[in-house]
């Protein structure tokens, strides 16, 4: 009989990527695997355990270590109290805990205080070693283990551009990056205009998230001052705490609630204090993380506090709601609010980034769907009157993605977005690139190399902005010193890229990249036309004429409700597609596959499969 694995996060941690990786390994080993959506209550977790009767339970928390230890301890004691750590036949369920390195380190010392034996998933720097650890947890041996490992090796080690390996080593050699000169101090005009700041700088702008988990904003205020004085970033995105995103303007709601990470600003005065900390050094502009409710009013408050001036704002399309457990709104309500926010930002002349594709990638959406999502956010932005459209291209996400696969996916997204944008020729595209956090190792030396290598790869698509992800993120939230060093690594990588540009940009025309790019454009174009047909007013037309149909609120809601826009990592029962599987294929492409034959599905085949199973159910 097949064994069963149930996985979930605790403490409202929205990061489920690691759980899906463990579930993927489990499926390769012939184990039934189920991952719960984030934000489940203890009662909902208990019901899921009773329903699935799992042999294995995986629990994850990858935010603040000390809070993580408390969350793990609480959930285990509660499950023991409910009698759910034992199966109906009397056997104990096997429990695995996964978190940041420090979390695991603390738990290792406290194992004997927990109500059951736990298998701690170690923070391995080698992805294959981590996979082996998961197979050990699942007690998979003999031929099943060999078969699973063979498949995983093929997925984990796609083709690599050797020049990137060599240059990345040169970037970090002898810590020469520490000699990088500071960024220029912008003119008064550039301080209030992100686009002019770029033109004046003559290089990619650098932005970063920053927010220190604490009970107050003061550590973040002091940290911002250090970053500004060091002149290492052009824009600071406040790493807002979950409490701030949910309860800003209601300080009383912060009482007796734990801060799950980030800076817990509570009101207008806090925003003013945080912004004033940037008025020194090279005067970085400032934007907050997107809130999960009352966005329109929050935009006005930010501008009054000094934020968003000379900055941009990021707004999702489908996310930050019931779909990912990060907000109280329904998907329908949030689509309406997000589009209104984009229109408001457009009227205010503030550049807009719709940070939607990253969220799909975090849930193992296939490459075609990611490219399609870039087209959908383009349609929303150009029909909303956005003058400066900022696109975030997240590389090495998921980590199984290959170099050539990334270049093909991003170039396809750029091309199809430009076609959709023909609806409003006065709107300009700004390319922003970043490294996926999951790509970075908890080994700090290796992580510095990875940040350098990823930056070199990103530069091939000629970005105007680099979203700096600090090399330490797999281990801990970035400190000011971490951000300073990470910026120096990125800037040295940019410098060495320019010196070796001809040897690297040739990969944009690699036959594998070009063939995959054309395939993705063809597949995404088919899916976009099918989505456009969900609009009752659609009468046909060229891709360049589809923006008004695709940007329609009701059409977008139908696109996700029907499963046309879907990913294996969506666990919400109203949007989950049980039969959708994706996996890495040759060169690190991420494709949708038939769940029975494991063959790659075209979009036409995927939608036919979807319609067939919807009829059956």
Question: Given a cut of 70, is residue 393 above it in pLDDT?
Answer: yes
The more confident residue out of 602 and 616 is 602
**For position 446, what pLDDT does the model report?**
95
Q: Are 251 and 262 in contact (CB under 8 A)?
A: no
Structure tokens at 195: 């686009």
Question: Given a cut of 60, is residue 617 above it in pLDDT?
Answer: no
Mean pLDDT of the chain: 93
Question: Given a cut of 70, is residue 452 above it in pLDDT?
Answer: yes
Angle of helix 331-347 relative to helix 367-383, nearest 10 degrees, comes to 50
**For position 154, what pLDDT does the model report?**
75
Phi, psi of 397 (to 5 degrees): -140, 115
| Residue entry with tokens 């033109």 | 199
Question: Given a cut of 70, is residue 125 above it in pLDDT?
Answer: no
* CA distance readout (Å), 146 to 132, 276, 398: 10, 58, 24
293 pLDDT band, cuts 50/70/90, is confident
User: What domains can you pick out in the chain, each with its CATH number?
Assistant: 4-156 (3.40.50.280), 165-509 (3.20.20.440)
How many angstroms separate the CA atoms of 222 and 280, rounded?
Answer: 12
Question: Given a cut of 90, is residue 429 above it in pLDDT?
Answer: yes
Sign of the four-CA dihedral 450, 452, 456, 459: positive
Averaged pLDDT, 547-558: 98
Averaged pLDDT, 367-383: 98
Q: Are 185 and 231 in contact (CB under 8 A)?
A: yes
Averaged pLDDT, 408-423: 98
Asked if omega into 398 is within 30° of 0 (cis), the reply is yes
Question: Given a cut of 70, is residue 595 above it in pLDDT?
Answer: no
123 pLDDT band, cuts 50/70/90, is low
**For position 223, what pLDDT does the model report?**
98
Q: Are 78 and 42 in contact (CB under 8 A)?
A: yes
**For position 124, what pLDDT does the model report?**
65
- 128 C-beta neighbours (distance < 10 Å), count: 13
**For position 326, what pLDDT does the model report?**
84
Question: Given a cut of 60, is residue 75 above it in pLDDT?
Answer: yes
How many angstroms separate the CA atoms of 76 and 86, rounded?
Answer: 12
pTM of structure: 0.84
Averaged pLDDT, 418-432: 97
- 146 C-beta neighbours (distance < 10 Å), count: 11
Question: Given a cut of 70, is residue 616 above it in pLDDT?
Answer: no
Question: Given a cut of 70, is residue 74 above it in pLDDT?
Answer: yes
How many angstroms separate the CA atoms of 342 and 352, rounded?
Answer: 7
**For position 615, what pLDDT does the model report?**
61
**For position 490, what pLDDT does the model report?**
98
Q: Are 582 and 366 in contact (CB under 8 A)?
A: yes
Averaged pLDDT, 224-238: 98
The more confident residue out of 565 and 104 is 565
**For position 196, what pLDDT does the model report?**
97
Share of the chain above pLDDT 70, in %: 99
596 pLDDT band, cuts 50/70/90, is low
Asked if omega into 85 is within 30° of 0 (cis), the reply is no
193-226 pLDDT, tens digit each: 999 999 999 999 999 999 998 889 999 999 999 9
Q: List the alpha helices (DSSP H) in 54-122.
A: 65-81, 101-110
240-283 pLDDT, tens digit each: 998 899 899 998 888 888 776 789 999 999 999 999 999 999 99
Residues 6+ apart with CB under 8 A from 248: 265, 266, 267, 291, 294, 298
């Amino acid at each position: 009989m097949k064994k069963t694995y149930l996985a979930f996060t605790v403490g409202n941690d929205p990061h489920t990527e690691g759980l899906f990786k463990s579930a993927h390994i489990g499926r390769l080993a012939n184990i039934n695997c189920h991952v719960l959506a984030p934000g489940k209550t203890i009662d909902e977790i208990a019901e899921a355990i009773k329903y699935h009767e799992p042999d294995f339970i995986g629990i994850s928390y990858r935010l603040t270590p000390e809070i993580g230890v408390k969350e793990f301890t609480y959930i285990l004691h509660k499950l023991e109290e409910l009698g759910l750590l034992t199966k109906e036949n009397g056997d104990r369920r096997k429990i695995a805990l996964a978190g940041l390195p420090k979390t695991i380190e603390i738990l290792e010392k406290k194992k004997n205080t927990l109500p059951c034996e736990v298998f701690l998933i170690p923070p391995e720097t080698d992805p294959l070693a981590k996979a082996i650890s998961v197979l050990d947890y699942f007690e998979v041996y003999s031929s099943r283990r060999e078969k699973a490992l063979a498949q995983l090796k093929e997925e984990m080690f796609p083709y690599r551009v050797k020049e990137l390996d060599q240059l990345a080593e040169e970037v970090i050699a002898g810590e020469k990056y520490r000699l990088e000169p500071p960024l220029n101090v912008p003119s008064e005009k550039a301080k209030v205009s992100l686009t002019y700041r770029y033109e004046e700088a003559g290089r990619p702008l650098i932005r970063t998230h920053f927010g220190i988990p604490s009970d107050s904003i003061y550590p973040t205020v002091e940290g911002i001052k250090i970053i500004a004085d060091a002149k290492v970033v052009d824009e600071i995105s406040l790493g807002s705490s979950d409490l701030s995103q949910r309860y800003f303007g209601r300080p009383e709601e912060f009482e007796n609630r734990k801060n799950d990470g980030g800076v817990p600003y509570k009101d207008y005065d806090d925003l003013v204090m945080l912004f004033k900390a940037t008025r020194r050094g090279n005067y970085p502009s400032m934007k907050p993380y997107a809130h999960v409710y009352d966005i329109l009013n929050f935009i006005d408050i930010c501008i009054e506090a000094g934020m968003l001036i000379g900055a941009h704002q990021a707004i999702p399309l489908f996310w930050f709601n019931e779909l990912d457990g990060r907000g109280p709104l329904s998907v329908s309500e949030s689509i309406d609010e997000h589009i209104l926010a984009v229109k408001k930002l457009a009227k205010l002349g503030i550049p807009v980034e719709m940070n939607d594709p990253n969220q799909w990638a975090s849930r193992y959406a296939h490459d075609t769907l990611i490219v399609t999502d870039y087209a959908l956010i383009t349609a929303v932005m150009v029909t909303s009157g956005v003058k400066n459209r900022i696109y975030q291209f997240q590389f090495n996400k998921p980590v199984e993605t290959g170099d050539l696969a990334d270049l093909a996916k991003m170039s396809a997204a750029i091309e199809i977005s430009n076609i959709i944008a023909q609806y409003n020729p006065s709107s300009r595209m700004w390319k922003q690139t970043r490294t996926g956090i999951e790509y970075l190792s908890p080994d700090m030396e290796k992580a510095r190399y990875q940040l350098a290598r990823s930056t070199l790869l990103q530069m091939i698509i000629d970005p105007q902005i680099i979203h700096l992800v600090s090399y330490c993120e797999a281990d801990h939230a970035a400190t000011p010193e971490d951000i300073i060093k990470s910026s120096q690594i990125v800037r040295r990588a940019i410098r060495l890229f320019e010196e070796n540009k001809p040897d690297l940009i040739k990969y944009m025309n690699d036959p594998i990249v070009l063939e995959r790019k054309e395939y993705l454009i063809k597949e995404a174009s088919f899916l976009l036309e099918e989505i456009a047909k969900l609009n009752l007013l659609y009468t046909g037309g060229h891709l360049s004429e589809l923006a008004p149909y695709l940007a329609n609120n009701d059409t977008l809601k139908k696109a996700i409700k029907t499963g046309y826009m879907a990913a294996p990592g969506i666990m919400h029962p109203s949007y989950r597609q049980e039969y959708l599987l994706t996996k890495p294929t040759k060169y690190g492409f991420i494709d949708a596959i038939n769940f029975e034959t494991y063959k790659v599905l075209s979009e036409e085949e995927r939608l036919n499969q979807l319609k067939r199973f919807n009829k059956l159910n």
